[in-house]
Structure 1
């Protein structure tokens, strides 16, 4: 079987306005957690419940591990581990933090060096910096030796500069800029200043913010008293406050969101504030070659186009949400995007045509810089 892994990434030479400093966001809280073997009531979900006084525990075994499924793909910046404080700290010695795409967590990439005895003796907080180039869904801590001990830890926190929510990627900058400079910085990173579409999104974003106010893309520069978002989307969320008469509202054409209550209010555009950049997720899809000399029947065809290779055809499929498969004619280079799942009756004979099926699909964020 031939598997194609498709990541839609842009490599362009351009002038980039740096986002400079950014705020790391904890992305592992409350996500599904697992242990290699369970032990009494020291449940896996205690590892990321935000309480450093409740701990997770494996049974005694060779190479025990605890891991978190982030339920999405992220570039991990660092992992913070809180060791158990009442006893047994030495069980974390030789612990290895691993990040990657496989739920066979011991096969993923190591993040930093193994935990040392001197670290364990010095502090309960153990930190590992990760290479941001490694895309990861799973984060684990494991003891990869043959001592047969249990592993017990009280908290694992996972940090990324980018967070994913409801098919959107967000990056929080900690460098204050004017509204126009913040807009330019986001646009140079193929993103826009924040757009809020729903109350749930507003609540989620407020939870990411430090105690400050942040610029959004909402503004009434074009027409006073008629605010619009920068994005080409049509948001449904328009719950904002406009400065009342006497507050020099003519000069307050840009909107900020407050971290303390998530309110959207007028502000002077030349004020300097932190800001949030936003862009859409892209599809990460894995395809497998499943049939030779087969093409989908007409009712499953979304569209056809020319493509130079099966890989190029798969990129087109990745850009279409409804695409479940594609076929590629190796002679004519015709690429057919389709919804077929390859079941009996969905395919027809077609000479020189290979059929590829999507076997895995996930949303992901590309880097902002």
Structure 2
């Protein structure tokens, strides 16, 4: 078995795939409650902001959140869990980017164009990167995230899978 290799061509993670975001570090553009940005990778997908499982930046331009995976991965899937109790439209137009370093040019995995469902799945097709950025550009907004999951395989993994 090869943990981290996506078997489903639709890019949905399989039952044995590991959410590599859980061990990362996070850096927000701003933080209303110290340490709250870490809630986005705690494994709790509750979409009710009042339950305390979501994170929100200040009302700013641009509003962003960065995840450092601590090593480079071939990223197959990023799942963004939006707020479900209200304000889902705030995430509309947010870009999800992948980069090798904080100073390198990032590549867009996708743009959030549909917020009807709180869980948004983006297929990154093996993009290589260490940093995942979710950013709202072009307008002043609060960036609200309830969970982010990342699935892929380490570029350092030399395992041959059959």
Report the 3-state secondary structure (helix = DSSP H, G, I; strand = E; otherwise coil) of the residue aligned with 1:28.
helix
Shift of 1:25: 3.0
Structure 1 regions of 5+ residues with no counterpart? 1-18, 172-190, 192-276, 278-367
Aligned residue pairs, count: 145
- Judge conservation of contact 1:25–1:163 (CA < 8 Å) in 2: no
- 5 Å-filtered alignment, 1:65-214, equals 65-104=64-103, 107-112=105-110, 114-116=111-113, 119-120=114-115, 122-132=116-126, 134-145=127-138, 147-160=139-152, 162-163=153-154, 169=157, 191=160
Distance between the aligned counterparts of 2:34 and 2:42, measured in 1? 15
Query: Larger relative contact order (C-alpha < 8 A, sep ≥ 6)?
Result: 2
TM-score computed with the length of structure 2 as normaliser: 0.79
Structure showing greater Rg: 1
- Judge conservation of contact 1:42–1:56 (CA < 8 Å) in 2: no
Distance between the aligned counterparts of 1:76 and 1:129, measured in 2? 8
Q: CA RMSD in A?
A: 2.5
Report the 3-state secondary structure (helix = DSSP H, G, I; strand = E; otherwise coil) of the residue aligned with 2:125.
coil
TM-score computed with the length of structure 1 as normaliser: 0.36
- 5 Å-filtered alignment, 1:308-323, equals none
Shift of 1:101: 1.0
- Judge conservation of contact 1:50–1:155 (CA < 8 Å) in 2: yes
Distance between the aligned counterparts of 1:128 and 1:42, measured in 2? 26
Q: Which residue of 1 aligns with 2:32?
A: 39
Report the 3-state secondary structure (helix = DSSP H, G, I; strand = E; otherwise coil) of the residue aligned with 2:24.
coil
- Judge conservation of contact 1:42–1:57 (CA < 8 Å) in 2: no
Consecutive aligned runs of 4 or more in structure 1 exceeding 6 Å deviation:
none
Structure 2 regions of 5+ residues with no counterpart? 9-13, 47-52
Shift of 1:80: 0.2
